[in-house]
Amino acid sequence: MGRVSAKQNILVIGGGVIGLSTAYELSRRGASVTVIDKGEPGFGCSYGNAGWITPCFALPLPMPGMFLKAVGWLLDPESPLHIHPAADPLLFRWLFGFMRSMRAGKMRESVRALTEISKYSLEAYSKLSVETGSEFGFEKKGLLMAAQSPAGVRAAIQEMELVAAHGVPGRFLTGEETKAFEPALTGKIEGSVYFPEEAHAEPLQVVRAFAAGAEKLGAKLLSRTEIYDFEIGRGGHIQSVRTTRGKFVADQYVLATGSWSHPIARALRLRVPVLGGKGYAMITPVLSPNPSHPMMLIEKKIAVTPRQGAQAGTLRIAGTLELVNGDDSISPRRVNAIVRGAREFMNVPEEPQILELWRGLRPCTPDGVPIIGRASGFTNLTVVTGHQMLGLQSAPGSGRLAAELVLGEKPTFDPHPFRASRF
């Protein structure tokens, strides 16, 4: 495909961190961009992100040897990754693809692609505040993976070795060294791995930074604008979209709709196998002692993020992934499991004060790699979705790749692992 004029009118559907990072990159290239979102930009999945910008976690969900674990998750409603059984064709097809992706070769390809785009994004975030004139709490304090068991330590070391091959440094700490390094860890600690180059930020402020940057470059952002139909001409050319705020006509369209991508794509007879992975994030008062570093509590798959600036005095605790299809109800059992799990590692009160509880659906593809590419059968549609828990972490790189593909530029990253046609 040849280069497309950057002066084209482009409609980005979806105002989360991925949609707005794409809008920002398109605007930087001179495109005329409009972003529409069914709610308020930044208050969907992006809002509940742990805030991590961590290439060390550039791993896909399906990993070799996970089959027996997956069976156990299916039977345990309190497991870190729970698969909710349902007679749902999408779930069956998704699980089949998930199992097929548990191959060493596929895993290595995915880790390479995810690490590359995440490392670029970490560097891009260090410049974004100056570029957009927006502060978003960016801090480079590293990330600690703390384990209670020898198996947990082995898992952390294996992850360290996988990403070390792609230039992400880490070091092992014994249990005693871990507690000296992070006194907030009060429970039994077998050991840990510390990744010193990782960073974190406030997710909503990150989305607003991308929005501010795009708007300064001329982009228009419209909230509470829900798409419900497409007008498609000959040859798979989208002519317009109908929304709750009227019809929009553009030269190019970008679908960045997260966990809503499957039903929207179905209206286009396009296969986008994105399943919602329900997760929770809670804001509590600081603990005593309070963590000084972002931490992954390995056995419980719980993310802990200390907050700064206007959010100082609070702590974000996030966890669980429950594969569902559009169900955003709150499960007290899973919320309680997060609290109990965190209490095993830190001085969490028996009845912690939860200042805010978020739950939402993280968009998950069967192979754990986002979809970033031209949609098969369409001349002017690009899909950018399926980032699971890595949306904020990889947003600058994802937005750049998407913008390059939309405009026909030479891509910065190998687009093959992200191609939409693989499904």
Q: Name the residue ranges covered by the structural domains of the chain.
A: 9-62+94-273+366-422
In this prediction, residue 27 carries a pLDDT of 97
In this prediction, residue 69 carries a pLDDT of 66
CB-based contacts of 276: which residues, under 8 Å, 6+ apart?
259, 323, 324, 325, 326, 327, 328, 361, 362, 363, 364
In this prediction, residue 129 carries a pLDDT of 93
In this prediction, residue 86 carries a pLDDT of 67
CATH of domain 9-62+94-273+366-422: 3.50.50.60
CB-based contacts of 359: which residues, under 8 Å, 6+ apart?
48, 278, 279, 280, 281, 328, 330
Question: Splitting the chain (423 residues) into consecutive groups of 10 residues, what average pLDDT does each group show?
Answer: 70 97 97 96 89 93 73 66 71 85 91 96 96 94 97 95 95 97 94 97 96 97 96 95 96 96 91 91 96 96 88 91 82 92 95 94 94 96 96 97 97 97 91
pTM of the predicted structure, to 2 decimals: 0.93
Distance CA 372, CA 374 (A): 7
Q: How many CB atoms lie within 10 A of CB 16?
A: 30
